[in-house]
């Protein structure tokens, strides 16, 4: 479920110092509190940074008066050149560009950009670029994928198309059944799956997912923007029900032939980690069984589709959760890196293509977050990892023998954009007291240059004191949280409290980041006289398998225990008003909010639950069965988590909010809850956002957060 993706160190209280001239400090507006940190209050940043392949040149978009410029900095000299201006691009293409488009590299010579469904290709030469039309895609084209060999693949409805080397649009599939999808992401985007299109390394073949969902139950998503309203029928496989069936196909543009990989049965298994071999002869697929406790990494012939070899297996008494394809090392065509949590933490393993483990590259009680590049000269991976603290992320080099060296400086959250040769990294980081800093570093440690130190965009605002809190779960596990105190805090007073929570898989709320609170809405509420508390409990991400799998088969049990540890801490504070406590969460956090209100009634006076799962039998197969197994195999766990049977326990005020077009947590969850409330004679409050899917975004999100704020003001303020 997406809202919407570190050794233990002591966490001390962090205080943000504000001046005594409070009257001169600004108050956040609800718009600033909701969207400001990504818009008007975002720290200054380098715009559209990208490395030119092969060359150590960093490109970015800069302003020259009212005109955009695409500039390049060569390293290590630091020489800057203006490559393109907004006006020169307009002149070259006889078309007005009001801003610089997002230009992306295909290889060291060719770049491209899109405007609507028109794609323009650029060939770089000594004097600049020659721009020519590359393709005009249909208005309903989707899932566009651009290959370095100047090929494009895209989908129209349920079929796959491609633009070949002659710039001709070729129809790859011609499937009349709308419930058989080609070239689209499958398994509801679980297992790290983001695409259904896979060009081969040399551009000679096109692999794609084919998903047959004819056997999956229909589900209506009601659209209210027409009169009469109409139903969009989607396929939604619910836990324990019939799932879809996926295969992987390989299309040869030269012959027009398509081969299907012989992945066998059962047909409702999951096909993950799809990866081409560098020589295009083979395709690797990680097959995960429906129970998600046994994985096989298989090697298939791209020519015949036949199974060549099972390289290795991974099994678990709970679940295996693959989320990355193989990473073939440049210059090492017979070696790849495999991600695995087999020792309890996400780490990297070097294998050869016969399935022999060469070396464990990383080890320890910490998590690897990303592979960001490879330095071929030194045979080093560049990765990010939460080694120093689960609250931070740093950049490291890792040799093929497992030697690990940190290459960044400064505490906080680092992101790395690597040059293609792995010699340089654009390190953009933020942390407590550091809005954003942008540095180019060489991976051998010999060079670093600061490109930008952002000013604090919140310096003029009346900001609260923020304390980093470490509590302990019942088994002694450290739990990290943040306590945001009201502005102008007076320890002799008592204040209402809002607890914000998620506490579900694949999400981490608490980081050493900017803003230190983690969310300007928390600070907005602090300005309005609230204490705000948030904490990651067991079941959430980035702490290893034991931490995550503590909730297995019993979602909503261990997580609630941990959140109640936070509640006990709050109640121990003399300035907390125990009679005026509120609770808020969305998605899994909405499930948690509703669960606490029903399983532990009376603690919170008011709560707001957004997009909540009410009955896990109504949530999708892939996510739910990973953490809960099936309703048939785990009836006790599903019954315990079923909130429809607990409605009568409600005390206090509860507002449920749902998007009417939610195709993630379907609307029926909260509708059934309302129906059960009526049946039980229980009063609840309810609000919907017509046309919105799982998350309310854009300008309407301001309306949402005002709604949440008003609800707490109504029920928690004296």
| 306 assigned to active site | no
The three state secondary structure string of 263-301 is CCCCCCCEEEEEEECCCCCEEEEEEECCCCCEEEEEEEE
- Residue 662 is among the residues annotated as catalytic for this protein: yes
CB 116 within 8 A of CB 140: no
The counts of H helices and E strands in the chain are 10, 43
Residue 351 β-bridge partners:
336, 357
For residue 568, give every residue at least 6 positions away whose Cβ sits within 8 Å of its Cβ, in sequence order, or none. Answer: none
The partner residues of 658 in beta bridges, in order of sequence, read 688
Regarding beta strands 495-500 and 576-586, do their DSSP bridges make them parallel or antiparallel, or are they unpaired? parallel
Give the rounded distance of the alpha carbon of 162 from its chain centre. 28
Distance of CA 248 to the CA centre of its chain: 25
CA distance 61 to 71: 6
Closest to 527 in 3D by CA, of 469, 485, 574, 579: 485
Catalytic pick from 243, 419, 540, 587?
Answer: 587
Q: What is the DSSP letter of 22?
A: G
Longest dimension (CA), the chain: 80
Q: Which residue in 455, 372, 380 sits closest to 418, CA to CA?
A: 372
Strands (E) located in 454-529? 466-472, 478-484, 495-500
Of the candidates 332, 658, 694, 715, the residue annotated as catalytic is 694
Closest CA to 583 of 639, 651, 678: 651
d(Cα 296, Cα 318) in Å, to the nearest integer?
Answer: 16
Residue appearing with tokens 């300035």: 575
Q: What element of type H or E holds 197? A: strand 197-199
Residue linked to tokens 């954009």: 417
* CA nearest neighbour of 552 among 475, 637, 479, 621: 637
Q: 694 catalytic, yes or no?
A: yes
Q: Which tokens hold the place of 352?
A: 């050869």
Which residues touch 449 (CB under 8 Å, ≥6 apart)?
75, 78, 439, 440
Q: In what order do the strands lie in the sheet with 576-586?
A: 466-472, 478-484, 531-536, 495-500, 576-586, 606-610, 653-659, 685-689
CB 206 within 8 Å of CB 149: no
Q: Pairing between strand 67-74 and 332-340?
A: unpaired
Neighbours of 382 (CB within 10 A): 23
CB 292 within 8 A of CB 319: yes
* Cα–chain center distance at 646: 32
Quote the CA–CA distance of 273 and 108 in Å, as a whole number: 27
Catalytic residue (one of 68, 421, 462, 662):
662
Question: What's the token pair of residue 172?
Answer: 């790859």
Which residues does 426 contact at the CB level (< 8 Å), separation at least 6? 46, 49, 51, 58, 416, 417, 418, 438, 439, 440
- Distance separating alpha carbons of residues 198 and 454, to the nearest angstrom: 38
Residues identified as active-site = 587, 662, 694
């Amino acid at each position: 479920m997406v809202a919407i993706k570190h050794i233990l160190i002591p966490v001390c209280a962090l205080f943000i110092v504000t001046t005594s001239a409070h009257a001169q400090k600004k108050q956040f507006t609800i718009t600033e509190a909701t969207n400001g940190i990504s818009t008007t209050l975002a720290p200054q940043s380098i715009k559209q940074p990208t490395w030119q392949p092969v060359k150590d040149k960093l490109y970015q978009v800069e302003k020259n008066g009212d005109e955009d410029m695409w500039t390049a900095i060569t390293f290590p000299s630091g020489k800057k050149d203006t490559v393109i201006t907004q006006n020169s691009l307009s002149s070259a293409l006889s078309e007005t560009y009001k801003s610089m488009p997002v230009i992306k590299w295909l290889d060291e010579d060719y770049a491209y950009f899109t405007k609507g469904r028109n794609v323009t290709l650029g060939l770089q030469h000594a004097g600049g670029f020659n721009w020519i039309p590359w393709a005009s895609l249909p208005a309903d084209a989707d899932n566009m994928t651009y290959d370095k060999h100047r090929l494009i693949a895209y989908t129209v409805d349920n079929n796959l198309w491609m633009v070949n080397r002659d710039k001709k649009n070729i129809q790859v599939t011609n499937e009349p059944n709308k419930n058989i999808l080609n070239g689209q992401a499958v398994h509801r985007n679980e297992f790290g799956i983001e695409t259904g299109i896979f060009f081969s390394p040399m551009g000679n073949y096109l692999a794609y997912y084919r998903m047959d969902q004819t056997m999956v139950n229909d589900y209506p998503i009601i659209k209210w923007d027409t009169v009469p309203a109409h139903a969009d029928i989607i396929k939604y496989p619910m836990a324990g029900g019939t799932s879809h069936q996926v295969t992987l196909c390989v299309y040869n543009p030269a012959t027009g032939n398509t081969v299907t990989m012989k992945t066998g049965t059962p047909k409702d298994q999951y096909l993950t980690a799809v990866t081409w071999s560098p020589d295009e002869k083979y395709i690797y697929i990680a097959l995960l069984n429906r129970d998600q406790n046994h994985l096989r990494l298989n090697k298939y012939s791209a020519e015949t589709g036949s199974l060549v070899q099972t390289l290795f297996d991974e099994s678990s008494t709970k679940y295996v959760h693959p989320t990355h394809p193989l990473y073939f090392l440049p210059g090492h065509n017979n070696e790849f890196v495999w991600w695995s949590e087999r020792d309890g933490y996400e780490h990297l393993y070097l294998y050869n293509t016969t399935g022999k483990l060469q070396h464990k590259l990383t080890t320890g009680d910490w998590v690897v977050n990303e592979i960001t590049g490879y330095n071929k000269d030194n045979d080093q991976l560049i990765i990010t990892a939460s080694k120093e603290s689960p609250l931070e992320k740093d950049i490291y080099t890792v040799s093929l023998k497992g030697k690990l060296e940190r290459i960044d400086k400064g505490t906080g959250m680092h992101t790395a954009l690597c040059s293609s040769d792995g010699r340089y990294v654009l390190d953009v980081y933020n942390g407590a007291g550091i809005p954003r800093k942008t540095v180019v570093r060489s991976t051998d440690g010999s060079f670093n240059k600061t490109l930008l130190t952002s000013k604090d965009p919140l310096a003029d605002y009346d900001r609260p004191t923020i304390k980093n809190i470490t509590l302990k779960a019942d088994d002694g596990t450290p739990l990290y949280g943040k306590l945001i105190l009201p502005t102008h805090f007076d320890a002799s007073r008592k204040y209402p409290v809002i607890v914000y929570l998620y506490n579900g898989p694949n999400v981490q709320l608490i980081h050493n980041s900017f803003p230190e609170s983690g969310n300007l809405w928390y600070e907005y509420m602090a300005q309005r006289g609230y204490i705000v508390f948030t904490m990651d409990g067991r079941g959430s991400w980035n702490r290893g398998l034991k931490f995550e799998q503590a909730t297995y088969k019993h979602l909503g049990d261990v997580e609630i225990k941990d959140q109640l540890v936070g509640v006990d801490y709050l109640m121990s504070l003399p300035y907390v008003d125990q009679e005026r406590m509120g609770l808020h969460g969305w998605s899994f956090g909405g499930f948690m909010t509703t669960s606490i209100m029903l399983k532990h009634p009376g603690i919170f006076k008011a709560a707001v639950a957004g997009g909540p799962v009410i009955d896990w039998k109504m949530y999708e197969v892939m996510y739910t069965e990973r953490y809960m197994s099936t309703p048939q195999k785990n009836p006790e766990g599903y019954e315990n988590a079923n909130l429809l049977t607990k409605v009568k326990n409600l005390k206090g005020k509860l507002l449920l909010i749902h998007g009417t077009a939610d195709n993630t947590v379907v609307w029926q969850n909260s509708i059934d809850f309302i129906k059960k409330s009526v049946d039980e004679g229980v009063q609840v409050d309810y609000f919907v956002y017509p046309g919105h899917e799982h998350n309310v975004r854009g300008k309407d999100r301001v309306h949402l957060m005002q709604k949440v704020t008003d609800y707490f003001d109504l029920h928690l303020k004296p």
